[in-house]
Amino acid sequence: MSLYIDVNYESINKYKEELCGDKVEIIRSSDSVVVVLADGLGSGVKANILATLTSKIIGTIMSNGLDIDEAVNTIASTLPVCKERKLAYSTFSIVQIFNDGQGYLVEFDNPSVIRLRKGKPLDISTESRVISGKLIHESRFTVFPEDLFVMISDGVIHAGIGKTLNLGWQWNNVCEYLQKTYKKDLSSKAVAKLLVSACDSLYSNEPGDDTTVVALKAKKPDKLSLMIGPPIDSARDAEIVNRFIGREGKKVVCGGTTSQIVSRVLDREIKTSIEYFNPSVPPTAEIEGINLTTEGVLTLRNTLELLKTCTSPESTMSDFLKLNKKDGASKLAKVLLEESTSIYFFVGQAMNPAHQNPEFPLNMGLKFKLVEEIAALLRQSGKHISIEYC
Amino acid sequence: MGLRTIHLKLHNPSTVKRDIINAAFINYNNAFNYLLKNAYENIASIERDYQSPRGTYSSLTLSKWIDRGLSDDINKFDIQPFKDSLKLDIGMVLASYFVQKKTNPNMPFPSFKADDAAGQLKFRPIYFCRYDVKRCFCFLYDAANNKYFAKIFLMNSKNAKVRFNNTFNRELQYISKKQPEVKGLKKETFIIVPLSFGKWQEGMLRQAVDKPEILRTSRLIMKGNEYFISLSIDLPEDEKIKPATYLGISRGIKNALNYTVADMDGEIIDSGAIGLEELSLSKDLKTNNCILANKIAEIAINNKSVVVLQNLVEKGDKLSWNEDGINYKPIFGCKRYNDLVRILEYKIPQRGLPAPVKVSSVDIFSRCRLCGSNTKKNRFSKNMFICTTCGASYDIDGLGSSNLAVKLIKYQRTPLKIKARKTEKGMLLQNELIGLNLIVPFNENPFDKLMAEVKRISEGVCYDADKADSKDVSSINGLNSIYTANTMINKLVKHNFTNIEII
C-alpha cells in the first residue's frame, strides 16, 4: 500500500501578540512524513523560541531515523530556561506516517491527537514512559486511506472560555465538531482552516491563547493530467493526446483549440456545458472521458488567483468555500488543490492565432508564466508536479 | 389605520346625573331588546330583503329595516336622543350575525331579554353614532384650567331637566369647528360631566381641540358604579418614515425576545435582548405584550426600521432543544409570540413605519449568517451555533434575529432560476417568468446568447406592458406577471447576469 499524506496546518496568534507560541514542522522524506506540533510555554517571543527549537530539533532527529529518546534528551538539555518560571518547557505532539501505512505517534502534554476513520472517531491506544523526566505517550498503528489525524494545541480546547462558552469547548466537543464537518473530499487545509475559524469565532476574534490545528489526511495518490495549449508541432497532436489520455487518473483540458484537438484525435464531440454563469470566466465544456474542459488563459488566470488566495496564510474559510462554485476556474482550482496529489502538465507551445490580435491582452509568455506560478503554488502545498513542454 | 379607542371616565357624577344616566341605560336596553326581538321574528325576511346584490350586508342598510311604525313604537322607551344610534347599533348586530352565519350556519341569534332591563346589573353600552354639539355627545374644554367635560344627550324633551341658573362658573368652549357659545338652557336634555383620564388620553384630546374632526363615535359604558366614554378617535398617522434598516425580532431560549438591526446591505448595526426586565413589570400577559411592543416600536423608530417578524402560524422555527434528556423550550410560545405580532401589526404603522413583515422562520436557527449553510448539524448546543461549513459561531438567540433582519435582503438577491436541458439541437434554456425559451447550439457561447435573448425579451415585455391583453408575450400573462418579469430582468441586468442559478 502506498499512501499520500496531505498535511496542512493553521494557526492564530494570541490576541495582540505578533508571534505565535505554537510551531509546526512538516518534514517530508522519501519514505515518510514527520509532523511536529510544539507549543512553547507562555506566549509571544519566548514561547515562539521554545516552540521553534522544540519542533526543529524533534523534526530533524526523527526524520533522520533517530528515536524519540534521543529527541527528548536533546530538548531537555538544550532548551533555554525561562527566567520567571525557571522552566524549559514546550509541549509537543509528533505524528510520523510512512508511505507503507505504518504510523507512529508521540505526545507530551498536548491535547490528544484526534483520529477519524471515514468520519468516525477511532481511539489511539498509547503506552506511557518517562524520558528525561518527561511523561511521554507513544503509539504505533496502521494508517488507511481516508484516515484523518488532527493535532491540536491547547488553544483549541480553551476557545470561548468565559466568552461564548462558559467552560470552553472540551476535547470531546472538538471531536464531535470534526465528525459533523467531515466530508470525504475535504482537504487537510480545509479541515485545519475550518477548525481554526471555529476557534477564532468562539474567541470572538480575540484569541486568549495561541491556537494551532494540524490536519493529516491519508489518501491513495490521486493523479491528474492537465493539457494546455496545442503542441508546437501539429504532426505530434495525436501522439501527445494519446499519451495524455493514456495516463492514469483524472484528465483536464484547458483551451478552446486544445479541446478541439483532443476532440478531433479522440473523435469525441465537444458540448458546451452550462452550470454556472460568471461573466469573467468563460463557460466550460464536456468531452467524454475528460473530467474537466475549460477555456485557456482567462480561466487559468482566475484559477491562479483562487489558488493564491487559498494557499495564502491570510486566507479565510470563505475563500475556500469559493472553490465550490461551478465556474471553470473554481472547478479547476478545486481539482488541483483538493482532489489531486500528483499533477502532470502537458504545456503546448504552439502560437494561438487568437493571441496574435494586438487587442488581446494576453500573450504566450503569460500562459507559461501562469502554468509555472500554478505549479509552484501546488508544489508548496506538497503536490508532486511534473511539466512537459510539447 | 389611525382609528384608536380611548376610555375617559365620567368624574364623580352627582346623584341626579347618575339617575339620569341609569335611566338612559334602562331605556336604551329595553328598546334594543324590543327591536332585536322583532328582528328575530322577522329574521328570514330581513336576511333576504336587505342583502346587497353581491351577497353582503351593511349596518346602514339593515338599520333601515326599522320602519316608521317600529320607530314610533320605540318612542315609548324615551329613547329619542339616541334613536338613530340605536338603529345603527341594531344594524351592526344583524350584519355581524349574518356574516358569521355564512361560515357557521348554526350560528345562534344574538341573545336578548324580554324582561324590563330595570333590574339588570349589566347593561349594553349606549352607542352614539356621531359627535355633535346639539345631539348625541360632544366635549367641552376649560382652557383656563385645562379641564375637559362631556356633554351627553340622554333625555327626551319630555324628561328634560329645568335649569334655574343658565350661567356656568367657568369659561367653557366646545371642541368643535364652529365653537358656538356655551350656554345653559331652561330645559336641558343633556348632562355635562367632567372627565378624568391619563396623560396619554390627554395628548389625544389636546389634538382634538385643534382638529375636532378627528372625534368620531362613542359608547357610554357602565362598569359597576362608574361610567366611561369609550371614544373612537381618528388620529392622524405619524409622519411617514422612510425605512433605512431592517429590525429582526425573534423569540429565544435564553431571552424572551432578541432583536438585530441590519442596514440595507445586511451589515449588523445593533443587537440585543428584550424581555427579562420588561416581563417583570406586570403579571398580566396582555399588558406585558403591550410593553414589549412599545419597546420594539421604539427601537424600530430609532433605527428607521422595517420590522421583520417570525411567521409561526403554519411552521415552527425548531428552536426547542433536547440536551441530556432535558427539553429546552423558547420563553415565548408560538401563541404568545403571535399575540405580540398582532399588537405590532397596528402599533408599528401608527408610528409611521411600514407594516411589519412576517417571514418563514424554519431556518433562522440553523442557517449560518456568514456562509448561508443551512443544516441542523450547525446547532451545537442549546445556546451555541457553530457552522460546520465555515466555522462561524453564534449565540443561538442572537442568530435568529440576525437571520430575520437580513431575510428580506436575501429575498431580493434571490437568483433567477433557469432550467437548462440538453437537447439534440443544443442546450435548452427556459424560464417561464420572463418568457425565456432559448436553444443554444453546443458550439456557441450560451452567456452571450442568453444576454441577447433577455435584451430581446425585455424590449418585448416593456412594449407590451401597456397593451397586455392584446399582445402575445410568450408565457407572460397579465400586468402583474409583466411587472414581475420586468423586475426580474432589471435585476439580471443590474447584477450583470451573475444572479442566475441553473437548475
CB-CB neighbors (< 8 A) of A181 in chain B: 388-389
- Our CA-based measurement puts residue B108 at a distance from the nearest CA of chain A, in whole angstroms, of 58
Q: Look-up: residue for cell 508536479?
A: A385
What are B135-169's pLDDT values in tens digits?
A: 899 999 999 999 999 999 999 988 888 877 666 77
Instruction: Work out the mean pLDDT of chain A and round it to a whole number.
Output: 88
Give the pLDDT score at A359: 58
Give the pLDDT score at B450: 80
For residue A278, the SS3 value is strand
Mean pLDDT in residue range A274-288: 78
Regions in chain B scoring below 70 on pLDDT:
1-2, 165-167, 276-282, 460-487, 495-499
What are B21-52's pLDDT values in tens digits?
A: 999 999 999 999 999 999 999 999 999 999 99
A173, pLDDT greater than 50 = yes
- Asked if B395 and A197 come within 8 Å (Cβ–Cβ), the reply is no
Q: Which of B387, B395, B442 sits opposite A164 (nearest CB)?
A: B395
CB-CB neighbors (< 8 A) of B502 in chain A: 274-277, 326
Interatomic CA distance for residues A301 and A280, integer angstroms: 10
Give the pLDDT score at B470: 35
Query: Does B109 contact chain A (CB < 8 Å)?
Result: no
**Residue A280 zone, left/alpha/beta (φ > 0; ψ -120 to 50; rest):** alpha
A180, pLDDT greater than 90 = yes
Query: Does B19 contact chain A (CB < 8 Å)?
Result: no
* Residues belonging to chain A: 390
Domain A4-219 grouped into CATH 3.40.50.300: no
Q: Which of A195, A274, A279 sits opposite B498 (nearest CB)?
A: A279
For chain B, the 3-state helix, strand and coil shares in percent, each to the nearest 5, are 40, 25, 35
Q: Which of B442, B496, B502 sits opposite A276 (nearest CB)?
A: B502
Give the pLDDT score at B36: 94
Q: Which long-range contacts (CB under 8 A, 24 or more apart) does B430-434 make?
A: B432/B475, B433/B476, B433/B481, B433/B484, B433/B485, B433/B488, B434/B461, B434/B476, B434/B485, B434/B488, B434/B489
Interatomic CA distance for residues A4 and A140, integer angstroms: 18
Give the pLDDT score at B475: 37
Q: Tell me the residues of chain B between 426 and 485 that have a Cβ less than 8 Å away from chain A.
A: 427, 429, 440, 442-447, 450
Q: Contact A287/A262 with Cβ under 8 angstroms?
A: yes
Task: Look at the pTM and tell me if it is higher than 0.90.
Answer: no
Domain ranges of chain A: 4-219, 223-389
Domain B245-412 grouped into CATH 3.30.420.140: yes
Q: Tell me the residues of chain B between 408 and 437 that have a Cβ less than 8 Å away from chain A.
A: 420, 422, 427, 429
Give the pLDDT score at A354: 61
| Chain A residues bordering chain B (beta-carbon distance below 8 Å) | 160, 164-165, 173, 177, 180-181, 193-202, 269-272, 274-279, 282-283, 317-318, 321, 326
- Asked if B496 and A202 come within 8 Å (Cβ–Cβ), the reply is no
Reported ipTM: the value is 0.84
Alpha helices (H) along B104-212 = 199-210
Q: Look-up: residue for cell 495518490?
A: A221
- Our CA-based measurement puts residue A379 at a distance from the nearest CA of chain B, in whole angstroms, of 26
- Asked if A164 and B370 come within 8 Å (Cβ–Cβ), the reply is no
